[in-house]
Structure 1
Amino acid sequence: MTSTMGVAIIGGGLFVKGSHLPAVLECELFSLKAIYSRSLKSAQETANLIPDSVPQPDLYSEDSGAGKSYQDILQRDDISAVIIALPILSQPSFIEAALSAGKHVLAEKPIAKDVSAARALIANAQRICSSTKATLAIAENIRFFPSFAYAASEAAKLGKVHNFSVRVLWRIEPDNKWYNTTWRQKPDYQGGFLLDAGVHWAAATRLLLTGDENKPETVQAFTAQMCEHLPPIDTVNAIIKTQSGATGVFQNSAGSLLQAFEWSFSYEKGTIKIAGETVTVQPAGGEEHVKEFTRTNGVSEEVAAWAQSIVDGKVNPLQTPEQALADLEFVEKMFTSGDENGSTQKYELL
C-alpha cells in the first residue's frame, strides 16, 4: 500500500474551504500537514472545518510571527506537495518558491494574469524543476466533471466539427459571495470575471474540439461592460474559426439576466449537447442517448488525479501548464479582439 504524502494548502478563501479542503481530506494518498493564509484568523477558520477525528494541521500565516511563514512550510521535510489557491496576481511567486523548495505544486487556474506572464512562469518552472525534480500542475476542475469527460470521449468518435454554440450566461450581483473579495471587485488583470471564470468555459469548449482539424485557428469578438460593478468587461460574444474552416459562436456574460450553461456541437457523424448536468449524444442516423449526471465541481477527482500523478512521477495530461496556457490564450485573444473592435486574432497555442 502506498504511504500518504504530506500536503499543505496555501490559501484560506471560499474555494479552499468549500472544495480543496474536503478534497484533500477525502484523498487517501494525502495527509494534510499545514494550512497557510494571509491571516491567522483565516487559517484558523479553514482549520475549524476539519473534523475532530482527523489529525489537525499546523497553521501558518503572515501575522503568526517567527517560524510560521510560508517559507517555513517549504522547509518541512514531511510536506512534499502544496495546493496554491491565492489571488491571480499573487500566485506566480508562491509557485516558484514552492518548486524551488522541491515541492510538487497544484496551482489554481488561471495560470497567470495573461499569456506573457504565463509563458514566463512556465519557463521559470521548467528551469527550476530540472534541478529540484518537482512538478507543476494547474487545477482546472471542469476537465474532471463527469459530464464533460463523457461528452469529450463521445466527441472524439464523431469526427470533424461542422458548427457549434457555447452559451454561458449569468449575473454576478454585488452580494454574490464570489464578488465580495477586493481583488475581484477591483481586478488588476484583464477580463475580470471573464478571465477568472472564463478559463473554465475555455477548457470545456476545448475538450469538445478534439483533433487537429477541430482546433481553433482564429477568433473575432466584441466585448462590453454591462454592469458598473463588473469592470473592466463582463460580456463577450465571439466567432471562432477552426483549422478545418468550421465556425462556432462563444457567448459568455457575467452581467446578463439570462441564464444559460449550454454547449451544442454538430460533427460530421453526429451531435452533442450539454445543458446543465444533462448530456445528449445523437449519432447521425442513430438513436439519441441522454445521460443525467450528478452535480459535482470535480475538485475531489482533480485532487485525486494530481496525487496519483505525483506517485506516477508525471503530470496528468489534463493538468499540464501548457493546457492552462492554451485556456488562457483562448479567452485573451477574445479580449484583444474586443479591444480592437472585432479584429481577427490568430491562435498560436491551441
Structure 2
Amino acid sequence: MSTAPGFAILGAGIFAKEAHLPGLAKLGNDIPTLRAVYSRSQKSASELAADAQTILKLPSAPPAYYDGDAFTDLDALLSRADIQSVLVILPISTQPSVILKALAAGKHVLSEKPVAPDVASAIKLIKEYEGTYKPKGLVWRVAENYEVEPLNLKAAQAVRDGKIGKVEWFRVQVLNAVDKNSKWYKTPWRTVPDYQGGFVLDGGVHTAAALRVILPSPITHLTGFASLNKDFLAPTDTVHAVAKTADGAHGIVEITFASPGGTYSKGIAPLTITGSEGWLTVGPAEDVPDTQRVKITRVTKDDKEEVEVIDATGHWQGIPAEQQSFFQALAGNDDGAQDPRGALKDLAFIQATLDSNGALVDLEALTKF
C-alpha cells in the first residue's frame, strides 16, 4: 500500500456528498489520495465511502471509520501516518473540538464555515492554533467558498481596477425560502440548532465573506435588527443591517430564510456595489439558466452606459477552488486565502446583526485579541 501523504474526510452529510466530493472530482489528479472517511455511524460512513469511490473513480472504497469501536473511531483514523490532512465537514458546534483533535494529531485541517459557533469560541480556537500548532508548520484553513468563488474574485478585481469609480454604497439581498420539506432543514442539527442564529449564521457568513472580498475597504461598524418569522426556523430567520466601511462607504444587508417563496426573489440581484462612475451587480443571470453573472455598468461623461458582462456556469465553483487552495498551501504554495482570521470577521458580522437590536456595533473591537 502506498504511504504517500493522503487525506481523510470527516463528516458524511449532504454537503460532503453533494459539494465536496464533486469538487474533489473536478480537481482530478491534482490532489492527494483520499485514504479514509469518518462519520459517527457505520451506516453513514460506509455510504460516504461508497459515494467517494463512485464520484472520485477510485479502484476501491476508502476505509470507513465510525464511533463505537477503538479500531474504527476517529482517534484510529487520526493515528494513521499516511493521512496528512483532513477535511472537517461536521455540525457547527462539533467542529472546534474535532479541529483541535486533528491538529493535536499532527494533521493539517480544512474545516467548513463558520469558523466556530460564536466569536468568543472562535477567538479561543484561533489563539490555540496560532500559539501551539501554527509554529509547528500545521496549516488550518476555513472553507468559505464565497471567499474564493471565481465570480466574486472577478467582481473584486473590477472594483479594484476602478471600473465603477470610488465605491460609495452597496446593497445585498439574500432571499431564501426554507420549509420543513427542505433537505437542509431535515438535517437534525439544523432542525434544532444549538448555536446562535440558526440558518442565518450557517448561511449568512457566505454573504459576509462575499462583501469582505469584493468591497475595497473592510466593514468596521453596523447596526441592525433580527427577527423570527417562522417558528420552525428558530431562533432567528431574518436580519437587516446598515453597515459602514473604513473608507466611509455604507450599505444595507438583508438576509432571510423565511421569504414567502414563489417569485419573491426572482430578478433581484443579491449584491450591488455602487460607485462614483457606475455600478456592479453579482447574481443570477435572468436570461441564462444555471448561470451566475457579474454585470459592470459604467456611466460615461455624456450619460451613456457601457456594460461589461462576466458569466460563470453552475454553482459552488468555489468548492474546488477552496480545496485546491488548501492542498496547494500544504505543498508550500500558500495564496493566503481562507485564513481563520478572515472567517472570524464573517462570523462577527453575523453575530453583530443578531445582537445589535439597533445599537451600533464596532466590529474591530468585537474581533480584537
Q: Give the structure-2-normalised TM-score.
A: 0.88
Q: Pairwise mapping of residues 1-350 of structure 1 onto structure 2 (< 5 A)?
A: 5-27=5-27, 28-49=30-51, 50-51=53-54, 53-63=58-68, 65-130=69-134, 132-158=136-162, 160-210=166-216, 214-257=217-260, 258-259=264-265, 260=268, 262-276=270-284, 277-285=292-300, 287-297=306-316, 298-312=318-332, 314=334, 316-338=335-357, 342-348=358-364, 349=367
Q: Is the 8 A contact 1:137 1:306 kept in 2?
A: yes
Offset from partner CA, 1:103-129 (integer Å, 9 cap, x none): 110000000011100000001111231
Q: Distance in 1 between matches of 2:58 and 2:209?
A: 37
Distance 1:130 1:149, change over 3 A: closer
RMSD of Structure 2 on Structure 1 (CA): 1.8
Q: Is the 8 A contact 1:10 1:86 kept in 2?
A: yes
Q: Distance in 2 between matches of 1:72 and 1:319?
A: 28
Of 126-135 and 29-38, the range deviating more from structure 2: 126-135
DSSP 3-state at the match of 1:176: coil
Q: Is the 8 A contact 1:25 1:32 kept in 2?
A: no
Q: Is the 8 A contact 1:100 1:132 kept in 2?
A: no
DSSP 3-state at the match of 1:256: coil
Q: Distance in 2 between matches of 1:22 and 1:4?
A: 23
Of 44-53 and 143-152, the range deviating more from structure 2: 44-53
Distance 1:274 1:4, change over 3 A: farther
Offset from partner CA, 1:164-215 (integer Å, 9 cap, x none): 11000011100100111221111111111000000001101111212xxx32
| Structure 1 gaps, min length 5 | none
* Matched residue type, 1:308: Q
Tell me how far 1:288 sits from its aligned partner: 1.0
* Matched residue type, 1:97: K
DSSP 3-state at the match of 1:232: coil
Q: How many residues align?
A: 340
Tell me how far 1:275 sits from its aligned partner: 2.2
Distance 1:327 1:127, change over 3 A: same
* Matched residue type, 2:36: A
* Matched residue type, 2:20: H
* Matched residue type, 2:144: E
Q: Is the 8 A contact 1:12 1:43 kept in 2?
A: yes
Tell me how far 1:97 sits from its aligned partner: 0.9
Tell me how far 1:33 sits from its aligned partner: 0.2
Distance 1:233 1:251, change over 3 A: same
DSSP 3-state at the match of 2:176: strand
Q: Distance in 2 between matches of 1:282 and 1:261?
A: 14
Q: Give the structure-1-normalised TM-score.
A: 0.92
* Matched residue type, 1:219: L
DSSP 3-state at the match of 2:111: strand
Offset from partner CA, 1:255-302 (integer Å, 9 cap, x none): 012325511111234321112211111234262101221122021121
Distance 1:261 1:196, change over 3 A: farther
